Chain A
Amino acid sequence: MVKRLGDMPEVEANHLRRIECPTYEDTPALAGKPLRERRIALISTAGLHKRGDRPFRPGDGSYRVIPAETPARDLVMSHISVNFDRTGFQQDHNVAFPIDRLRELVAEGVVGSMASVHYSFMGAFPPAAAEPHAQHLAGLLKQDGVDAALLVPV
């Protein structure tokens, strides 16, 4: 079990310590709303996309579009990093992209509804490279009636 960086193998922890994290002076927090009234999109940073879409490249801050009805067999991962496990995703896509679980939460009435389109970035992006894409993405989400996103790393 991984708890903190100090509990990880040293070489892995050192790799993670070298990753530069952006800082922000303040953090916005939009007003709460009951979950059962929310329309939610999944946004992954696992470098996922449909087979045949442009693979991610170093420094790529753009996103790929994953329609909700995309069959699991069409999903591939082109994250540039080799420092995380991929065998879980190979076995079950939901361990990194929990689209079936979100569908179930909607069916149970826990979540209001699910976006018709979901998205993936490739997490090794420089924040400045991703910001304009994220701003554009916010507009697309609103057009789909989405008012909340679940951000799933890898």
Chain B
Amino acid sequence: MGALGHFLERQGIATAGISLVREHTETIRPPRALWVTFELGRPLGIPDDPDFQRRVLRAAAELLERTDGPLIADYPENVAEAADFTGWACPINLAPTSVNTLAAEIDRLATWHDQAVARTGRTTIGVSGLDMPAAGALLSSALQGDLPPAQALKEAVDDLRAYYLEAASAFPDPGTPAMRKAWLWDETRFGKALLDLQPKLSASADPQHKILANLTLIPATERHRLAKT
């Protein structure tokens, strides 16, 4: 991100950026950066809070008037920690014993995904170009040893991940995003499928499969689960 500040400023476009990782910004030294303490993935801080987001964006934009860079300004507001999820339980039973197949699990979530789309007016699915049953079928056939090209598999998996998390956001008792991500890995056939797929990709001779296995399939925070499977 900070590198773009260097490139564009040299070409005559003034830049100011948001920084999510101060240590990275201190190394790259872009012209102007507003450091925020928000979660990675949420550079404006809080979804559906236009006033908060506008304050952050305005603070970043106001840095454009400064010429004393490289500078890092500390944004003064923080986002409160999400509540602890002790005691939260998924309101519908999607545990692996409740459905026989990944396909059945995907089908069961469809009504909740419809609810989510009705509420937000949008979905972030649509990178792979596949519908969700087809994306699930691709993942299932990969698990059976028929590995598709890494890019197609990655896009299908990312669409499925969005489908599951968007659907879960419409559950009657949706909990917090952290709870829903824990649900995906703890409770779903999809999460188990990803963990089962990882060693197959890792053993592939295709270097793109290895990138997927080692970097872009399982989040760093969930890789501890691999040893258990």
Contact = CB atoms under 8 A, between A and B. Distances in A.
Interface residues of B, number: 95
Given A16-B21, A148-B64, A150-B57, A76 B218 contact: no
Among B6, B67, B123, B181, max chain A CB count under 10 A is at: B6
Nearest to A51: B126
A43 to B, nearest CB: 6
A11 B223 contact: yes
- In this complex, the interface size class of chain A, counting residues with CB under 8 Å from chain B, is 35 or more
A105 B57 contact: yes
A110 to B, nearest CB: 6
Given A81-B216, A87-B177, A138-B8, A32 B3 contact: no
A9 B60 CA distance: 27
A94 B57 CA distance: 10
Nearest to B69: A29
Interface in B172-218: 177, 180-181, 208, 211, 215-218
B40 A73 contact: no
Contacts of B43: 95-96, 152-154
B47 A92 contact: yes
B61 A111 contact: yes
B159 to A, nearest CB: 9
B65 A137 contact: no
Given A11-B221, A131-B7, A153 B127 contact: no
Contacts of B29: 23-24, 27
A28 B31 contact: yes
A125 to B, nearest CB: 8
A73 to B, nearest CB: 4
B121 A58 contact: no
Contacts of A95: 42-47, 53
B1 A123 contact: yes
A58 B41 contact: no
B143 interface: no
B7 A130 contact: yes
Contacts of A32: 64-67
Given A110-B58, A150-B17, A135 B124 contact: no
Interface of B: 1-24, 27-32, 37-48, 50, 53-54, 56-58, 60-62, 64-70, 78-81, 120-129, 151, 154-155, 158, 161-162, 165-166, 169, 177, 180-181, 208, 211, 215-221, 223-224
Interface of A: 1-5, 9, 11-12, 14-17, 19, 21-24, 27-35, 38, 40, 43, 45, 51-52, 55, 57-58, 72-73, 75-78, 80-96, 98, 100-102, 104-105, 110-111, 121, 123, 127, 130-131, 134-135, 137-139, 141-142, 146-154
23 contacts: A2-B39, A12-B40, A27-B29, A27-B69, A29-B68, A51-B126, A55-B128, A58-B211, A73-B123, A81-B215, A83-B221, A87-B177, A87-B180, A87-B181, A91-B169, A94-B53, A96-B41, A104-B50, A134-B7, A142-B12, A149-B8, A151-B2, A151-B15
Given A38-B64, A80-B216, A148-B16, 20 more contacts: A2-B39, A11-B224, A45-B4, A55-B128, A58-B216, A72-B122, A76-B125, A82-B218, A88-B42, A88-B47, A89-B47, A91-B48, A93-B122, A101-B53, A101-B54, A104-B50, A138-B8, A148-B14, A151-B4, A151-B30
